[in-house]
Amino acid sequence: MNPFSLTFGKEPVSAINRDKQVNEIVEGFTSENPEYQVCMITGVRGSGKTVMMTEISSRIKEEKNWIVIELSPDRNMLQALAAELSNRFDLTQIFKEAKINLSVLGLGLELDSAPPITDIAVALDRMLAQLTKKGRKVLVTVDETVANQNVREFASQFQIYIRKQYNVFLLMTGLYEKIYELQNEDTLTFLYRAPKVLIDPLNSDLIAKQYRVIFDISEEEAKEMANIVKGYPYAYQVLGYLCYKNQCSYKDILYDFDAYLNEYVYDKIWSEMSEKDRKVAVALANSETGKIEDIRNRSKLKANELSVYRDRLLKRGLIKSSQYGYLEFTLPRFTEFVKKKYK
């Protein structure tokens, strides 16, 4: 069976260790004095956000007293959280003890003696207060966050639970622009202060090592393959997948490799960029050096304007600056992709 997978959002068979960032976030939440209660993971499409979040969830689920619940931004999230909590058998007793009657909300937990709660936010408040009292901690995870009504309503309520010092934690993933939009809501300034973690590229040495084990190739060839991938998780899977499927050297499938990247990710990324973002990208692609000055001349943008767009591209994880005054694309073959667009 091909150990590589082109499916998004699913933990791949051949995974490259990301312990450094995973540990940081797990510890940030679970240490005795948590560094933060809200954390957001951002990064371009295909950079491994969903896979990393899944790993963090499974790690925290193993911790004593932790409850981890994943919510979708497509549903009423307060309702969904209350439903998930009340459906857990291990928590029934805790809620019964506090005489929390959720029958009117259709959540099953029924008690004769207590009047039923009719407002979902109030119900959750009572449940979380009770869980906190019992030393339980609740982590809510939200993948692919958007700034829709469900998320806004949920986040503004969550803010109140945090203020009340309940043991509640929130981990979200999303594209930078979505998270940016959400945190700029007047009522959600607590998100503005929460740490935003830009997901790291995969370690190139580890990538080379994996390729070497799987394909039984020379160290040099494995390194060449890792250099092509540039630490981009989706590219790591695609290159491996094609080599395995065709049982050939990476040199024979580079054309297909490009086609996969373009069709499944780069076209989408491109369509989400603004006119000015693209101007900067085209200038960078055509610049031999990547020098800011050269990009400014080519894009014909004013210095302060360029710095705004450069900043945005950096925060989205599309470009990086390994050397002061110079820029480069983070994604493999993106220069070629952009050049082709404007031929």
Ligand X SMILES: Nc1ncnc2c1ncn2[C@@H]1O[C@H](COP(=O)(O)OP(=O)(O)OP(=O)(O)O)[C@@H](O)[C@H]1O
Is 290 within 8 Å of 284 (Cβ atoms)?
yes
Choices 5-13, 67-75, 82-90, 109-117 (CB under 6 A): range interacting with ligand X: 5-13
In the complex with Mg ion, the residue whose CB is nearer, 261 or 280, is 261
CA distance 214 to 3: 9
Q: What are phi and psi of 300, to 5 degrees?
A: 60, 30
In the complex with ligand X, the residue whose CB is nearer, 144 or 181, is 144
Q: What are phi and psi of 141, to 5 degrees?
A: -115, 140
Work out how close the CB of 68 gets to ligand X at its nearest, in angstroms, rounded to a whole number.
17
In the complex with Mg ion, the residue whose CB is nearer, 50 or 157, is 50
**Is 48 one of the binding residues for ligand X (CB under 6 A)?**
yes
Residues 6+ apart with CB under 8 A from 159: 187, 188, 190
**Is 330 one of the binding residues for ligand X (CB under 6 A)?**
no
CA distance 342 to 286: 10
Work out how close the CB of 97 gets to ligand X at its nearest, in angstroms, rounded to a whole number.
39
Identify the CA nearest to 210 among candidates 224, 187, 226, 231.
226
Choices 14-22, 91-99, 117-125, 282-290 (CB under 6 A): range interacting with ligand X: 14-22
CA distance 119 to 222: 59
The residues of the shown chain that bind Mg ion, judged by CB under 5 A, are 9, 50
Distance of CA 197 to the CA centre of its chain: 9
Work out how close the CB of 174 gets to Mg ion at its nearest, in angstroms, rounded to a whole number.
9
Residue from 38, 40, 43, 285 in contact with ligand X (CB under 6 A): 43
**Is 30 one of the binding residues for ligand X (CB under 6 A)?**
no
Determine the 3-state secondary structure of 326 from DSSP.
Answer: strand
In the complex with Mg ion, the residue whose CB is nearer, 9 or 195, is 9
Choices 95-103, 121-129, 233-241, 300-308 (CB under 6 A): range interacting with ligand X: 233-241
Determine the 3-state secondary structure of 10 from DSSP.
Answer: coil
Identify the CA nearest to 53 among candidates 67, 74, 69.
69
Work out how close the CB of 205 gets to Mg ion at its nearest, in angstroms, rounded to a whole number.
25
In the complex with ligand X, the residue whose CB is nearer, 134 or 315, is 315
**Is 326 one of the binding residues for ligand X (CB under 6 A)?**
no
Identify the CA nearest to 75 among candidates 67, 85, 83, 65.
83
Which residue do the tokens 């990301």 mark? 18
Q: Which of the 8 DSSP states describes residue 262?
A: I
Determine the 3-state secondary structure of 172 from DSSP.
Answer: strand
In the complex with ligand X, the residue whose CB is nearer, 137 or 230, is 230
CA distance 310 to 277: 8
Print the binding letters for residues 126-165 with ligand X: x by CB under 6 A, - otherwise.
------------------x---------------------
Residues near ligand X (CB under 6 A), total: 22
User: Would you say the C-alpha torsion 323, 319, 204, 142 has a positive or negative sign?
Assistant: positive
Residue from 15, 94, 146, 162 in contact with ligand X (CB under 6 A): 15
In the complex with ligand X, the residue whose CB is nearer, 16 or 78, is 16
**Is 45 one of the binding residues for ligand X (CB under 6 A)?**
yes
Residues forming the site for ligand X (CB under 6 A): 5-6, 8-9, 12, 15-16, 18, 43, 45-51, 144, 202, 233-234, 236-237
